Amino acid sequence: MTQPALVYDRVTVRHEAHAPPALEAVSFSIEAGEKVALVGLNGSGKTTLLMSAVGLVEHEGEIRVGEHVLSRRTLQPVRSGVGFLFNVPEDQLLFPKVVDDAAFALVRKGMSPRAAAGRAREVLGALGVGDLADSPLHHLSHGQKQRVALAGALVSSPALLLLDEPSAALDPPGRRELARLLSGLGAAMVVATHDLAFASDVCSRYILLDRGRVGYDGTDAAYVARCL
C-alpha cells in the first residue's frame, strides 16, 4: 500500500501564547491522490492548517508529509515535495518576470534554466496566461498573478498540493478551467476554499474546521453546505 500524502495526529497550533489555539488536536489522514476541500468560516483555521504543513507556523503533535515527519531537520525535503499556493499571490512571487517565477521550483531542484523555462511556459499556457510569460509581474492583474503563483506550485508536479483559495480571484471561465485541470491531476491536494461549487467540482471529501477543530470529515457536500 502506498503511504498517505499527509497525516495530522493531534496537531495544535498557537499563534499567541495566551489566545485560544488556532488549531486544536486536529487529526486526519489524506491518501496519495486524494482531493480534499478544507472549509470553514473566516478565522476557523484553514490558512493556519496549510501553513503548518510546511512548517511556516510552529505546531504541537505530529505532521507527516509523505515519508517525512515534519521537523526542522526535514523542512527542506518536505517543502520541495509540496506545491503551495498562498492566499495572497504577492507573498510568493519573487522574480520580476513571469516565466522566471513559474520556473523557480524546477531551477531550485537542479533543472537547467532553459528546460525549466520551457516547462513553466507549458504550465502557464495550461492556466491561460501563456501569453504573459515574458511580461513583468507588476503589469499583471490580481487574477493573473494568482494564475502565475499557481503555475509555480504546479510546475514541479509535486505529490501534494496545498492551495489556499485558488479560485478566489478567477473569472468564471478561469474557475472552470482550473477545476478541470486540478481534477485531472494525480496529486493529493488540500484546497482551502469558501467556494463550495468549486470544491465539489474538484474534491471528493470535505474537512470542515470549526474554531480550530475538525467539525466534520466526510463526503456529504449537502451537509457541509448546511453547516456554513
Ligand X SMILES: Nc1ncnc2c1ncn2[C@@H]1O[C@H](COP(=O)(O)OP(=O)(O)OP(=O)(O)O)[C@@H](O)[C@H]1O
Residue numbers of the site for Mg ion (CB under 5 A)?
Answer: 46-47
Contact pick of 6, 7, 11, 22 for ligand X (by CB under 6 A): 22
- 108 near ligand X, rule: CB under 6 A: no
- Least Å distance, CB 48 to Mg ion, is 8
Contact pick of 10, 43, 94, 136 for ligand X (by CB under 6 A): 43
- 166 near ligand X, rule: CB under 6 A: no
- 173 near ligand X, rule: CB under 6 A: no
In the three-class reduction of DSSP (H, G, I as helix; E, B as strand; rest coil), residue 205 is classed as strand
Buried b (16+ CB within 10 A) or exposed e, 54-90: bbebebebebbbbeeebeeebeeebbebbbbbbbebe
- Least Å distance, CB 187 to ligand X, is 21
C-alpha cell at 188: 493529493
Q: 16 or 138, CB closer to ligand X?
A: 16
- 92 near ligand X, rule: CB under 6 A: no
- The Cβ of residue 42 has, within 10 Å, a number of other Cβ atoms equal to 6
Only one of the segments 3-11, 37-45, 101-109, 181-189 lies at the binding site for ligand X (rule: CB under 6 A); that segment is: 37-45
Residue with cell 474538484: 202
Q: Residue 132: which residues within 8 A CB-CB, separation 6 or more?
A: 98, 124, 140, 144, 148
Q: Rule CB under 6 A: which residues touch ligand X?
A: 15-16, 22, 40, 42-48
